Structure 1
């Protein structure tokens, strides 16, 4: 990890960074569209990132969101931090309603099935994701202590 990546992790704990993130996400979607998923802002900032496409639980329309992830077995761990806001993000409710989704990671499309992780397994996996993005612990505090949904996305 270089100095720039270390600085990004420090900045990630700042409130201004969490306010900026949702405004930058559409640009990340556009970048991934232009590069067919080979380039994304997360990777440029030094964190593993993927594009998750869920099915809208009300609309039935595909919804895409860039997320940080941690590799896990033959899949990915993602968390519904919503930048530390008090409510869960829509994509996590979409996964609860329809666990089949698509992931675009490093230019490769992967069909996945999401599984909400709870209990001891959640605690163990949480300890795996916070070193990748230490700001997740800050987000929990900022959200008022909301327990973020944690998902394992397994290849189908």
Structure 2
């Protein structure tokens, strides 16, 4: 395994907040326990994005849960990435799918799910959910089961 300092460039340095969607800020590090199945959960209660039509802000709690394989997302880079949505115009459903796909590209996890709990707009709340399980594995079956049995 390589040294963490060689894998990460953001942690421990001055913070630069991006004003536009910035998937390039995401960083990963080596999982020290890839042989184990275990959950890593992030809760981002102050997520904001913009409605792509009206430009009005949308507020949400984004929940990310995943089973890591070889790589894991570094939390400060995730924070900066989530902040980069602040001026990004995307519908709620698009936001959760973008987040999930960016994290899949970064880490190639065994399994991942992303839920958005958006505050009401016009009296309606939207809670989009997406998930992914590595194809051809038990995690693909898990993704299908969790999606079909979602409450």
Q: Same fold (TM over 0.5)?
A: no
Q: Identify which of structures 1 and 2 has the higher relative contact order when contacts are C-alpha pairs closer than 8 Å and 6+ apart.
A: 1
* Greater helix proportion: 1
| TM-score category (smaller protein) | under 0.3
Bigger-Rg structure (1/2): 2
Report the TM-score, using the length of structure 2 for normalisation: 0.27
